Amino acid sequence: MHMMFLMTTSDEEFGQAVASYRAAQHMSQKDLASALTDAGMKVDAPAVSRIEKGQRAVRLAEAMKIANVLGRNLGDLIGTRMTTRERVAAAFSNVEWRGKQLAESVARFSEEVMNTGALLEEDEDLLESLNDAEIGRPRDAADFSRWYAEVLRQRIWSIRRERVGQGNYAVYPVAADKAGLLEAIAAIADTALLSSGEYEALEDSGVMVMGVLDTVADEVKNRIVF
């Protein structure tokens, strides 16, 4: 039985087109893999990565499914190439979109950390329940966030293995890249953290503060006493 493979464009060019249109759709590789699997093409995020790098040949039927999931015509993927400028614009749009998602997640994470701290502040005997065999327990309620950071550092390889297994990770090719990536992540996180004074200043300036950040600020300001 013959299997028909794409011959009208190189694997690398096809992969570049897939990556560009995926970014324009604000989809991660994991999102695309899930959508393709739902459409009958069983792949995972690493397989999508290989397709985008031109390291996995794609059959015609698969190419049609990829095009359909991305909302494109097959010709968009195999007939024409996006210019470098178009690819950069699509990629940067995806960076900003993911940044907004990260900021919302940071706000929710911060809210949970503060709520846990509030519970511990009410009864510091509860600190004993958080005792870790390696690093001990938080010194007090205010120390909870620092303590949790230490717990994460202690478990980092276990967490990394879990993320790799789920296809939820990013690989940076050069060690020096990590500092810049962490700086960008910290900048995104900082946009989601407002002191009560900053929040009030925004309100006083007439800015309509809505959404997750507003909810978090209100809950912090009017925190329920447990």
Q: What is the pLDDT along the chain (226 residues), one digit of tens a residue?
A: 333 333 345 888 888 889 888 888 888 889 999 999 999 999 998 999 999 888 888 998 899 999 999 998 888 887 656 677 877 777 787 788 888 889 999 999 999 999 999 999 988 888 988 988 888 999 999 999 999 999 999 999 999 999 888 777 888 888 878 999 999 999 999 999 988 888 888 877 776 555 544 554 454 444 443 3
134 and 189 co-located in one domain:
yes
54: left (phi over 0), alpha (psi -120 to 50) or beta: left
Positive or negative torsion for Cα 41, 42, 48, 51? negative
What is the full DSSP assignment across 25-62?
Answer: TT--HHHHHHHHHHTT----HHHHHHHHTT-S--BHHH
Same domain, 176 and 108: yes
Euclidean distance between CA atoms 132 and 135, whole angstroms: 6
Claim to verify: residue 102 and residue 208 sit in the same structural domain: yes
Residues 37 and 127 in one domain: no
| β-bridge mates for residue 5, sequence order | 59
Q: Is residue 65 part of a domain?
A: yes
Domain end residue (candidates: 31, 47, 78): 78
Q: Are residues 115 and 190 in the same domain?
A: yes
- Domain CATH number, residue 40: 1.10.260.40
- Residue 35 lies inside a defined structural domain of this protein: yes
d(CA 25, CA 91): 10
pTM equals 0.65
- Is 1 inside a domain boundary? no
Name the domain count of the chain: 2
Which structural domain range is residue 65 located in? 11-78
Are 213 and 132 in a shared domain?
Answer: yes
Same domain, 130 and 215: yes
Of 23, 49, 78, which one is at a domain's C-terminal end? 78
Do 51 and 107 belong to one domain? no
Residues 153 and 181 in one domain: yes
